[in-house]
Amino acid sequence: DSLRAAPGLNRLGYPIPRPTELGYYDLSDARSDVLRRQGELAKEYQIDGFVYHHYWFYDEHHPGPNLAAPLELLLQSGYPDLPFCLHWAAMKWNNNWQSSGLKEREQHPKDGVLQLQFFPDIDEEGKKKIKIHYNWLRRFFHHKNYIKVKGQPVFMLYQKKPAAIPVLEEIRRLAKEDGFPGMYFTVGLSRPHEHLQSFFPYRSIRKFKGYSTYNKTVAYPGPSGWSNRSLEVPEWCTRHNVKPFGKGDTLHSNSNTKKRTVEIPGIIVSFDNTPRRPFEEARILSGTKSENVVKAFYHSLKASLHYEACCFPEERETPPEDRFVLVNSWNEWAEGMALEPSDVYGRSLLKTVRDVKMEIFKEECRE
């Protein structure tokens, strides 16, 4: 286990968080009660749901599913008893995370690549492969806790891949045959936003070939391109006498003229991949005192939730299931991104989620 073997401190002298209350666990162990306890913790701190990585390589040697034991346990046990959706991490696996040699290896895929991602053609044979994929997915789509928007299962794609679009459209067709009104697809951007203004406003997103497949983009909260500073609410949302929008109130702001974008805000908890990298090569975005990490997370989370709840008063009737903020992540321990209780942060990150949500509710931006 990379976290067990990791040093106590990173190269900047700050401690590497270890799990406390839940301990070290194996999510594929059917005897463990960790899945149940994770759900209870999430509910206690007002986390609305989980997004689970899903791997399906369409490789003839092991097409999929891959690393699916925890998901199978979810179906068997019903835990965590919390809303959830799947995130198709359709990408190749490199044996050296974001190293300086990545571009060179992309030119020579056999070097440093553990697993390639394939996408079938939409011919008779390809449709058979996609049908197998869909038949596996549908067990989750029909689950009582699966997140849906207007009855459509939410299915997320890690990053835009042109070859994935026909596959997603075939999945949509199969979902309709299966009784769903359609599918709600999102696609991750290649970098996070520097501030809460979408790269692709609603009207311009349709100019990009293939984007008509997707309902929303996601400013995927990964470390690539992430700034150490906290996210801030856009100036157009905060100026010109902005006040909370409650019953009987009129909100005078430039935000009235801003149409809701199709981008989902995303933020990271912290980042330190020392457990997975050579000590001196680790990428560290949280190289500071723990209280500063919590403070930065607080500000980014509050800005993101305020943006979703308060910056688009003309669209306040948007149903709750169509409004998302992603946090990365619940338990990426080997990359220093974990909301779960730890020896460094205790429950402070979880408490931050609950506290920020309560503060946003008090602003009464939504009825």
Domain ranges of the chain: 27-188, 190-367
Q: How many CB atoms lie within 10 A of CB 34?
A: 21
DSSP 121: -
At 248 the pLDDT is 35
Q: What residue has token string 């190269």? A: 11
Could you tell me the two tokens for 184?
A: 């709600």
For residue 51, pLDDT beyond 90: yes
Could you tell me the two tokens for 233?
A: 């609410």
pLDDT band at 194 (very low <50, low <70, confident <90, very high): low
Alpha carbon distance 365, 131 (integer Å): 43
3-state SS, residue 153: strand
At 221 the pLDDT is 65
Contact 165, 130 (CB under 8 A): no
**Mean pLDDT (the chain, rounded):** 84
Alpha carbon distance 79, 77 (integer Å): 5
At 236 the pLDDT is 76
For residue 272, pLDDT beyond 70: yes
At 317 the pLDDT is 66
Pairwise pLDDT comparison (194 vs 264), residue with the higher score? 264
- Angle of the 69-77 helix axis to the 124-141 helix axis, nearest 10: 50
pLDDT band at 260 (very low <50, low <70, confident <90, very high): low
For residue 207, pLDDT beyond 80: no
Pairwise pLDDT comparison (190 vs 219), residue with the higher score? 219
> H or E element: which one contains 217?
strand 216-218
Alpha carbon distance 73, 79 (integer Å): 8
Any idea which of 202-206, 257-261, 343-347 has the lowest mean pLDDT? 202-206
Q: 279: exposed, middle or buried (C-beta count within 10 Å: 0-12, 13-18, 19+)? A: exposed
- Classify each residue of 158-188 as buried b or exposed e, where b means 16 or more C-beta atoms within 10 Å of its C-beta: bebbeebbbbbbbbbebbeeeebeebbbbbb
Residues 342-360 have a mean pLDDT of 97
Residues 350-359 have a mean pLDDT of 97
Pairwise pLDDT comparison (182 vs 95), residue with the higher score? 182
For residue 342, pLDDT beyond 70: yes
At 96 the pLDDT is 59
At 202 the pLDDT is 42
Q: What residue has token string 């990408």? A: 91
Contact 122, 163 (CB under 8 A): no
Q: Provide, for the chain, the percentages of residues in helix, strand and coil under a 3-state DSSP scheme, each rounded to the nearest 5.
A: 35, 15, 50
